[in-house]
Amino acid sequence: MQMRKIHVVFVCVLTLSLVAGSLYAQVDRTNLDEGFDKPLKKTVVDFGPSPFRTSQHVRNKLTCYYYPAFTVKEYDQGEKGAEWLSIVPSAQAACVRMHEEHEKVTTEWSGYFRGVKGTVVFFYASDGEEGGMPFAAFDSGTGRKLFEDSSLLDYYQKTLHLKSVFRVTSEADQNPRLTYLRVARAGCNLKAEQWECWNKVRAQLGITQTDIPVCSGYEKADWESAIVYPVSVVLTDSPQIKAVDGPVFCWPTD
């Protein structure tokens, strides 16, 4: 009964997903209690009003997050997604737009800084999709991308009365462990095909729940379903996503 109530609530807020994505992009990720390491220092250099948005409340700024062995820089000119993100292998890097010799500028990811756990740096995308927010993890030493996926927008944590949408901890070997509500395409329509689609999804994603989730928000019968389910993954050299017990949600893809 509780799951049905949650789905009814979600239908009411599904139409706000684009707004939620915009709100999400304005949140300071370091202030969210997700288990990330607290930076030793944070510096913001203001370069004046954004050249792309005339509102004086939107600034052209460089933000630097300092950690024991490196610095993360985010240069945001006010457009959707930061202009660039980088990792400097120094805990005392100058907070300037000029790149240092060994600074690793991320070219394969556009978005914002999310947080740090140990030696792993997390970025998230500039906008959400299917009710989720894509994110990626990078090695601070090499700049190599270790993992990427999509987790439920934090906007829905209170709306859906969920205790945790995204959480990062450390294993004994210091590898970060992520536990989050993953958003994935089902590859079929759970509203129309029901058991046939659900059995396929469970086998493909390893979902332990046996009951078909209530799928709401459909206007066309041929829309593919998006599945939201709890997972855990340890960021090793070959990360494996593992479904864990918890609520499963379903709604149409964007």
> 208, 193 in Cβ contact below 8 A?
no
Residue 174: is its pLDDT beyond 70? yes
Residue 100: is its pLDDT beyond 60? yes
- Cα–Cα dist 188/104, whole Å: 40
pLDDT in tens, 129-145: 988 999 999 999 999 99
> 136, 123 in Cβ contact below 8 A?
yes
Using alpha carbons, select from 238, 27, 236, 241 the residue that is nearest to residue 120.
236
The answer for residues whose C-beta is within 8 angstroms of residue 194's C-beta and 6 or more apart is 212
pLDDT in tens, 239-249: 999 999 988 99
Half-sphere exposure of 158 (CA within 13 A, CB side): 2
The CA-atom distances, in angstroms, between 196 and each of 40, 224, 230 are: 52, 14, 21
Sketch the domain layout of the chain as residue ranges. Answer: 2-252
pLDDT in tens, 196-231: 999 999 999 999 888 998 887 766 567 899 999 999
Residue 19: is its pLDDT beyond 50? no
Model pTM above 0.75: yes
Using alpha carbons, select from 13, 9, 20 the residue that is nearest to residue 154.
20
